[in-house]
Amino acid sequence: MKRIHLVLVLALAGVLAGCASAPSGSEPPGFGSLVDADQDAGPLVGQGAHRVRFVLRDPHTGEPLPHHPYALSHGSVDLPFVAGEKDVYQGITDGRGRTAVFAFDQPPPREGFFLRPRLGEGDHGEQFRLTLPGDEPAFAQAYTLVICTDPPQRYLGYSDRDGHTAYVASAQAERVQLFLDHDPDATCTDEGENASAKHAGTPEPPPDDSGEDEGDEPADDGRG
């Protein structure tokens, strides 16, 4: 199994070569989809008449992910029901893979919501973004994330159509490693290949000039 060793605090995105790209004429699945939300549809988070709800999906199969930890943010507006600087809501889906119902005083832009699976919990967090040369997203790439706690926390998943992995969260800054392919026994190691990295704090593609090499201190984005 090819390994990519990242001695990084949770604020970087891996840039890989050799992963799959989207086939021509197709739209690979993402992590989430909007569903109808009404007052009695489920647990309510926030206040207001404008409500949205999502289904968390496996980007490899498109199937819902029931009873699964998730993270929700928005690329252009603050979530009024989140107090943390990261502005990321953390929850668990229901038996049908649905999130809570989120209420807003004003209608939020439908474009910009970013739902993804979550590993760990806490105010610190980001996710990796896997790309091909030229910053083309690598979708449906199997990966394993490991938070180097004692014991290690692991997540086995597939990247979405934008190349994003699951969101990684922790109560404090932690060391994280990313492995290509699925390895339920993956553990943190001081050996492995270097990978260049770029910040991916939002669902938008990160700028080309924000790369950092292994061993560099990650840039302080002022949010974590």
What confidence score (pLDDT) does residue 178 get? 93
Strand segments (E) across the chain? 3-8, 13-14, 32-35, 44-46, 50-56, 69-74, 89-92, 101-104, 113-119, 124-129, 142-147, 153-158, 164-170, 176-180, 197-198
Q: State how far Cα 214 lies from the chain centre.
A: 21
C-beta separation of 121 from 90 below 8 A = yes
Look at residue 82 in the predicted model and tell me its pLDDT: 92
209 token code pair: 């000039």
The reported pLDDT for the residue numbered 79 is 94
| pLDDT averaged per 10 residues, the chain (length 224) | 36 36 54 76 89 93 96 93 88 96 92 95 91 90 94 96 95 93 90 35 35 35 39
Residue 189: closest CA among 175, 204, 200: 175
Burial tier of 23 (Cβ tally within 10 Å: 0-12, 13-18, 19+): exposed
pLDDT tens digits, 17-52: 334 444 444 555 678 888 877 766 789 999 999 999
Domain boundaries, the chain: 3-198
What digits encode the pLDDT tens for the residues 76-91? 999 999 987 789 999 9
Neighbouring C-alpha atoms within 13 Å toward the C-beta of 105: 5
**Residue 29's pLDDT is what?**
64
pLDDT of residue 208: 41
Preceding amide of 151 cis, omega within 30: yes
- Give me the pLDDT at residue 94, please: 96
Pair type for strands 124-129 and 89-92: unpaired
Question: Looking at residue 129, what is its pLDDT?
Answer: 94
**Residue 11: per-residue pLDDT:** 30
